[in-house]
């Protein structure tokens, strides 16, 4: 399986390089045609030859583009096959609840292996997963892909806070606040009251400076390690997150109550 993924990565690199070269070459020839016709008044035959070369390069570009689309599908199928292998392994060695996350369809499937070859679907629905490579207006780039493979629930928690990460300010093209500029919500009030304070007592511009935000992740969190959480969020059914897995409130609660610490989570 690793050899298949290695081959797929190599093929992707070759196709991407060909795609870029063909596109740049075709654009360069198009500009050259215009400049030559204007500056040197080439004959019709000479221009037709150059035009033919340009069209050939555009055909090559189209070929690479089609192959790139096919490669994405191949990668998804390889990941799905790897996930299926993990499921078969679980059916032999694990009894209990486990979770499947499909980052292509953005769906989750909560399953339970009850032993003796009996594996049942408990709950299924839409989720939101990582949006992949993204950039800001200044050209800074981040990879917000949800990591694929086999993970495990390492911890769970109720009433979690969202802490604004350092890259938040760069992605938003904002100046990071100084330590004394942060707004701190009093922790002497209940978590529910903190949520009300955040939404009702602060303006929109003030809320941005709250580093520890109550309620943004919902009422529960499931930690898969490496900064990847399963939590509440919008945009379900799409690739919208910074790598975490977003759930609706009722689905999140069902997963929280079903998946114990140590439960397998297969992401593909």
What are the tokens at 34? 């215009």
pLDDT digits (tens, 9 = 90+) for 110-156: 999 998 878 999 999 999 999 999 888 888 899 999 999 999 999 99
| pLDDT tens digits, 7-41 | 555 555 655 555 556 555 656 666 665 665 555 55
- The verdict on pTM exceeding 0.75 is no
Q: What is the DSSP letter of 123?
A: E
List, for residues 206-248, the tens digit of each pLDDT value. 999 999 999 999 999 999 999 999 999 999 999 999 999 999 9
Nearest to 198 by CA among 180, 219, 212, 179: 212
Report CA-CA distances (Å) from 161 to 118, 221, 231, 253.
38, 9, 11, 16
């Amino acid at each position: 399986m690793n050899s298949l993924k290695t081959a797929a990565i190599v093929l992707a690199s070759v196709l991407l390089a060909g795609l870029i070269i063909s596109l740049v070459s075709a654009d360069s020839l198009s500009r050259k045609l215009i400049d030559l016709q204007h500056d040197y008044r080439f004959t019709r035959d000479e221009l037709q030859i150059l035009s033919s070369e340009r069209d050939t390069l555009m055909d090559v570009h189209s070929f690479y583009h089609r192959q790139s689309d096919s490669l994405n599908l191949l990668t998804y199928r390889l990941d799905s096959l790897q996930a299926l292998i993990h499921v078969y392994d679980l059916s032999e060695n694990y009894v209990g609840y486990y979770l499947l996350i499909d980052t292509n369809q953005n769906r989750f499937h909560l399953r339970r292996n009850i032993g003796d070859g009996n594996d049942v679907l408990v709950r299924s629905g839409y989720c939101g997963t990582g949006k992949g490579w993204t950039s800001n207006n200044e050209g800074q780039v981040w990879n917000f892909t949800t990591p694929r493979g086999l993970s495990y629930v390492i911890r769970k928690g109720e009433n979690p806070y969202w802490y604004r990460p350092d890259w938040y300010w760069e992605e938003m093209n904002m100046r990071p606040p100084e330590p004394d500029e942060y707004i701190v919500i009093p922790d002497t009030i209940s978590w529910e009251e903190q949520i009300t304070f955040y939404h009702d007592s602060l303006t929109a511009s003030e809320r941005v400076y709250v580093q520890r935000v109550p309620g943004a992740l919902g009422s529960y969190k499931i930690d898969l390690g490496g900064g990847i959480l399963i939590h509440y969020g919008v945009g379900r059914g799409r690739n919208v997150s910074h790598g975490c897995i977003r759930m609706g409130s009722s689905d999140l609660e069902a997963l929280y109550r079903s998946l114990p610490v140590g439960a397998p989570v297969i992401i593909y």
